[in-house]
Amino acid sequence: MDHSDNGHATHGDSSQADSTLWPVAAGIGALLLGAALLFYTRDQDAAFAAPLLGAAIVVALFAMVGWVWDDRRTKQRAASGAALGEARYTQVVTFAIAEDQYEASRAADGIVSQLEDTNNQLRGLKGFQDLRVIVSASGTGPSQALVETTWADREGLATYEETRATLLDLLAKSEQQVVPGSVQVFDMEVVRDTKEVAVRFGTAAIVSTFGAVILGGFMIGAGVGLFSDGGSGGGGVPTAAPPSDTIVAKNTKFTTGTTIVAPPNTAITLKFDDRDETPPHNVQIFAGGQTSGPLLKGCTAGCASDDVTTELKGGIRIDTFTFTTPAAGEYAFNCLAHPTQMIGKLVIQEGAPVPGAAAPAAAAAP
């Protein structure tokens, strides 16, 4: 039986760099910001474009500030010698279980079970923290076993030293299961570097805080989007409604002007506002309520022929075209290049105002 008493176990290397998730967090934040900027530049009118961009900015800033702060803290600790945490005291007992006795040692009256039961006996001792029994089973030859007790202070370990014979007596009484001469005892003082705690705290902090940061970013972005749109109750100036004679195309869809209302048998002028650099778009109005069949006739300006259709081309621009409205009814229109994505309708009805015309002044109150 061999017994070693180490007054101090080897300390962790204080110069070792801290493990940290801040670089990963900063990378994720940068990816989110890049994706949000790409989406925002393509579709600023989307309801969640501004909140998404706001959330990405907050996440990226949070990650970068956290990374800088953590790096600065690490350097300061390295310069000051990386203060160590409080010590704990451990006794380790190792022994070998005979080759054919492994199953018997795990039985109710086996040596492993008896050692595990001592956990309850030690709980009443001052400073006791934990007892662990670890067995490494071997297919051939003896199995290795380890019993580790942990204490909060030196006094607790000293008190335990008086009862240590209890564990050794258990091993001595199990001559059939314990290989003779294999028992070794080590007393150690273990000083844990505070970096280990900092790593665990940093991981938990990043994971738990990211949710709150993303939510806060969405709220900030939503607020920015709300105020930029004028809001509905904050006293801001509301965004002007799009003109009634304008069809706007953006992100391969008609965003406004999907329904144009006009009187019958009237010359009207409409505007096609294309806000996509690519791909090419145009407007073509059909002679019926479906986006099929012949095109509506009667174009007098802005069209290549009598058909009411603008030129199919790319580039940000405003095309103007004039035509005479047909009889009352509904007439479909779409984009030649995107017939199922960009669809609208021209509603012709008696008494409707001319698109783009100024609304009549309200009658003065008597």
For residue range 7-66, list pLDDT tens digits in order. 544 444 444 445 567 777 777 777 777 777 777 776 665 666 777 777 778 877 887 887
Find the angle CA(349)-CA(351)-CA(356) to the nearest 5 degrees: 85
Average pLDDT over residues 343-350: 96
Share of the chain above pLDDT 90, in %: 36
More confident residue, 182 or 3: 182
Q: Compute the distance between CA of residue 255 and CA of residue 44 in angstroms, rounded to an integer.
A: 11
| Tokens matching residue 84 | 């160590």
Query: CA of 81: how far to CAs of 7, 74, 77, 78, 305, in Å?
Result: 22, 11, 6, 5, 85
Categorize the per-residue pLDDT at 187 as very low, low, confident or very high, splitting at 50, 70 and 90. confident
Categorize the per-residue pLDDT at 6 as very low, low, confident or very high, splitting at 50, 70 and 90. low
| Tokens matching residue 117 | 């039961």
Q: All domains of the chain, ordered by start, with CATH? A: 2-82+195-228 (no CATH), 84-192 (3.30.70.100), 246-348 (2.60.40.420)
Look at residue 287 in the predicted model and tell me its pLDDT. Answer: 96
Look at residue 140 in the predicted model and tell me its pLDDT. Answer: 84
| Tokens matching residue 273 | 């506002």
For residue range 102-153, list pLDDT tens digits in order. 999 999 889 998 888 887 777 778 888 888 999 988 878 899 999 988 888 8
Helices (H), 101-245: 102-106, 111-122, 154-161, 165-173, 194-228
Average pLDDT over residues 84-100: 82
For residue range 294-327, list pLDDT tens digits in order. 999 999 999 999 999 999 999 999 999 999 999 9
Share the mean pLDDT of the chain. Answer: 78
Write the CB contacts of 162 (distance below 8 Å, at least 6 apart in sequence): none
Q: Compute the distance between CA of residue 234 and CA of residue 292 in angstroms, rounded to an integer.
A: 46
Helix, strand, coil content of the chain in percent (nearest 5)? 35, 25, 40
| Tokens matching residue 48 | 């969640």
Q: Which residues pair with 246 in a beta bridge?
A: 271
> 227 near 219, Cβ under 8 Å?
no
Strands 259-262 and 343-348: parallel
- 230 pLDDT above the threshold of 50: no
> 117 near 149, Cβ under 8 Å?
no
> 248 near 242, Cβ under 8 Å?
yes
Q: Compute the distance between CA of residue 106 and CA of residue 103 in angstroms, rounded to an integer.
A: 5
- Which pTM does this prediction carry? 0.40
Residue-wise DSSP of 205-218: HHHHHHHHHHHHHH
Look at residue 220 in the predicted model and tell me its pLDDT. Answer: 60
DSSP conformational letter for 174:
-
**Rg of the Cα atoms in the chain:** 40
- 200 pLDDT above the threshold of 80: no
Helix (H) or strand (E) holding 39: helix 22-42
Q: Compute the distance between CA of residue 111 and CA of residue 106 in angstroms, rounded to an integer.
A: 7
Helices (H), 291-337: none
Classify burial at 297, counting beta carbons within 10 Å of its beta carbon; exposed 0-12, middle 13-18, buried 19 or more. Answer: middle
Q: Which residues pair with 346 in a beta bridge?
A: 260, 331
Categorize the per-residue pLDDT at 222 as very low, low, confident or very high, splitting at 50, 70 and 90. low
Write the CB contacts of 12 (distance below 8 Å, at least 6 apart in sequence): 191, 192, 193, 195, 196
For residue range 153-176, list pLDDT tens digits in order. 888 777 777 766 678 888 888 889
